[in-house]
């Protein structure tokens, strides 16, 4: 169980990971430093603003796209997560083997779908800016070394 720190921003949605088994979640896109995640959490009915995180996927490379024919649907490319999970049976952290895939999230209206898309784009932009900020000194150093290297003939 975890507190949904961004629960004010969470957008209710539905997704079916298996045919005929649609589930309700709260959708969040979160970035912190150079890391970013798409989070699907189930809000606990007896504890508002608390929930259980059920699914986490990397934010980078998710290529969000609103469906042309169904403006309440958001398509995402999902890459395997690198976040380990605790195996309840053994109490050890494991990394679940996942494959690349696609999610289609259904939102209650077009505005909610656009809000989720905006959240993804904003968090991905923050993540990208942080990566760029951290790489800049390395790239500047490489550029300076390349420019100051004596030419050989």
In angstroms, the CA 114 to CA 74 distance is: 9
Structure tokens at 12: 């209710």
Q: What is the pLDDT of residues 21-44, one digit of tens each?
A: 899 999 999 999 999 999 999 888
Asked if pLDDT for residue 103 goes beyond 80, the answer is: yes
Report, at the CATH architecture level, how domain 2-143 is classified.
Answer: Roll (2.30)
Share of the chain above pLDDT 90, in %: 52
The three-state secondary structure class of 6 is coil
pLDDT in tens, 41-76: 988 888 877 778 888 999 999 999 999 999 999 999
What is the pTM (predicted TM-score) of this model?
A: 0.76
Token code pair at residue 77:
């490319």
Residue 73: exposure state from Cβ atoms within 10 A (0-12, 13-18, ≥19) = middle
Burial class (CB in 10 A: 0-12, 13-18, 19+), 56: middle
């Amino acid at each position: 169980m975890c507190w949904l720190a961004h629960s004010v921003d969470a957008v209710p949605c539905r997704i079916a990971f298996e045919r005929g088994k649609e589930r309700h979640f709260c959708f969040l896109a979160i970035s912190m430093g150079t890391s970013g995640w798409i989070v699907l959490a189930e809000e606990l009915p007896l504890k508002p603003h608390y929930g259980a995180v059920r699914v986490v996927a990397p934010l980078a490379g998710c290529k969000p796209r609103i469906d042309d024919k169904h403006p309440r649907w958001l398509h995402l490319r999902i890459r395997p997560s690198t976040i380990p999970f605790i195996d309840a049976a053994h109490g050890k952290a494991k990394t679940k083997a996942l494959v690349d895939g696609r999610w289609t999230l259904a939102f209650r209206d077009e505005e909610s779908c656009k809000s989720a898309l905006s959240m993804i784009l904003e968090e991905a932009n923050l993540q990208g800016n942080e990566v760029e900020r951290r790489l800049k000194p390395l790239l500047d150093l490489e550029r300076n070394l390349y420019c100051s290297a004596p030419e050989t003939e």
